[in-house]
Chain A
Amino acid sequence: MDTGNTAFVLLSAALVMLMTPGLAFFYGGMVRVKSVLNMLMMSFICLAVVTVLWVLYGFSMTFSTDAFGGLVGDLDWYGMRDIGVAELWDGYTIPVTVFAAFQLMFAIITPALISGAVADRTKFTAWALFVAFWVTLVYFPVAHWVWAADGWLFEKGVIDFAGGTAVHINAGIAALALVLVIGKRVGFKRDPMRPHNLPLVMIGAGLLWFGWFGFNAGSWLAADGVTGRALINTQIATAAAMLGWLFLEKIRDGHLTTLGAASGAVAGLVAITPACGALSPLGSIALGLVAGAVCAWAVGLKYRLGYDDSLDVVGVHLVGGVIGSLAPGLLATGHVQSDAKGLFYGGGFDQLGKQLIGVGAVLGYSFVVTYILGTVIHKTIGFRVSEDDEVAGIDRVEHAETGYDFAALGGSTRPTAGIGTATGAGAAAPADTKVDA
């Protein structure tokens, strides 16, 4: 065991955990005021549901010995019961428990990413159920393909440093499938649906950016030079993508927007994720500029094609994920994480071909399974709240709360019998006091 590596991965696990609340704020600020709590909760519930499933069977499905053709792990480690405190796998310098904790955070944020596409309109129980089934049927197997030593994409030599395919393409295409199943928000393209709190979006983007250093650099599972390159590439591509997005906005719309800066940064983080261990710093600038500008253009597609990807999960995560996942095929230098070279570095089409296989496999599998899963939930318990409830506001209907107290609303409290009153009486008598105003 290497204590330096172990310490860094432990801290990285905590950093990646923080990304899910960060994502919740990023999305929460972008919805209308009547949906902010539901949006936050759609991410937070993933922290709860996925953690429990990860312990029960998720870690085993993802990283236990391959059960079938590199497609999924077996269930020998259900309950994570036979993992020793300091147990090490061959070739690993950190304990299995630490690796499991780090990887858990990836499994949590991936379904949370999908939630932005279906904002304002899903029944919360249906969403929670979807998360449970989706990680089981889609995320755990795909993560096994990409990151388990005997996963089929890993064995093929597909480069995915920190989750361009398993996390971002996976969530992005699932978002598209789910939107096609459940349909548009009431008033899509007609009512103004502008973000209700851009400062919240900026806080979320900042937390995501911060946590992403754990996401990317931590994925090397060590604290060394490659880790350092992954970390600085993450910073570089994110900065360049913000510039790319803003540049396109300035030309097209005439303004440099706050939302554009935040979105560009996230697009850059997404794009550099699979490539941060393969590129040079200059290559990272190129990737970031392209990803920022292309994603800024791609978020407009939903209006032209007519699908209501509410917060642009497809435009940012799917498009950014594909660009980033193909990047090693073009820009891998052969000097960082491995000696595989991209097309522009004299490696020919070999690595690009492998990357295309990885991208295509995840696109196809995730879309089909998500579409079926979404349809089953939609046809049985129903995925959407009623139209009246959606218009009234999902926070009040699904959670019996509102995000902001804009003005004292009047009314009175009705303590539940037995709570808060010694006598257990229903309504407490109004306080008999006079105040001179």
Chain B
Amino acid sequence: MKLITAVIKPHRLDDVKNALQAFGVHGLTVTEASGYGRQRGHTEVYRGAEYQVDLVPKVRIEVLADDEDAEELLEVLVKAARTGKIGDGKAWIVPVDSVVRVRTGERGPEAL
């Protein structure tokens, strides 16, 4: 099994969610996050004093997938999240040793 994590622009969340649903994903976890990459932050001005704001709002999406689905799912996610402008974010896949569905105790792929 694999864990796909993506940190993307907040306003792309709805499109990504719809694309993943269409692909057949049953559940995902979304967290409000902040961070920066190549675009860095932005500048704000208060009574003439400039503040460099380093961290900008992002959302972090986490989805579990079968080994054979993972790469394709990643493609779907990235396509839906992309605007082509700087600051679109990152996505990555890591292996998962084991998964348990808390309600039933099912393990492995059945728990997805």
Inter-chain contacts of B47 with A (CB < 8 A): 257, 259-260, 263, 296, 299-300, 312
Inter-chain contacts of A195 with B (CB < 8 A): 46
0 or 1 for each of A274-304: is its CB under 8 Å from B? (1 = yes): 0000000000000000000000100110010
- Closest-by-CB residue of B relative to A189 is B49
Contact size range, B: 10 to 19
Inter-chain contacts of B46 with A (CB < 8 A): 194-195, 257, 259
A300–B51 touching, CB < 8 Å? no
Inter-chain contacts of B51 with A (CB < 8 A): 192, 194
- Closest-by-CB residue of A relative to B48 is A300
0 or 1 for each of A134-169: is its CB under 8 Å from B? (1 = yes): 000000000000000000000000000000000000
- Closest-by-CB residue of B relative to A249 is B48
| Cα(A299)–Cα(B46), bound, Å | 10
A299–B48 touching, CB < 8 Å? yes
CB of A406, distance to nearest CB on chain B (Å): 11
B45–A192 touching, CB < 8 Å? no
A253, A254, A300: most-surrounded residue (chain B CB, <10 A): A253
A414 on the B face (CB < 8 A): no
A194–B48 touching, CB < 8 Å? no
A252 on the B face (CB < 8 A): yes
CB of A300, distance to nearest CB on chain B (Å): 5
A253–B53 touching, CB < 8 Å? no
A335 on the B face (CB < 8 A): no
Inter-chain contacts of A299 with B (CB < 8 A): 47-48
CB of A120, distance to nearest CB on chain B (Å): 15
| Cα(A179)–Cα(B49), bound, Å | 19
| Cα(A95)–Cα(B48), bound, Å | 47
Inter-chain contacts of A194 with B (CB < 8 A): 44, 46, 51
Inter-chain contacts of A399 with B (CB < 8 A): none
Inter-chain contacts of A303 with B (CB < 8 A): 49
CB of B104, distance to nearest CB on chain A (Å): 14
A255–B45 touching, CB < 8 Å? yes
CB of A295, distance to nearest CB on chain B (Å): 10
> Which of A238-261 touch B at CB < 8 Å?
249, 252-255, 257, 259-260
What are the nearest 9 A-B pairs in CB distance?
A192-B51, A253-B45, A299-B47, A300-B48, A194-B46, A194-B51, A259-B46, A255-B45, A253-B48
24 contacts between A and B (CB under 8 A): A192-B51, A192-B53, A194-B44, A194-B51, A249-B48, A252-B48, A253-B45, A253-B50, A254-B45, A255-B45, A257-B45, A257-B46, A259-B46, A259-B47, A260-B47, A263-B47, A296-B47, A296-B48, A299-B47, A299-B48, A300-B47, A300-B48, A300-B49, A312-B47
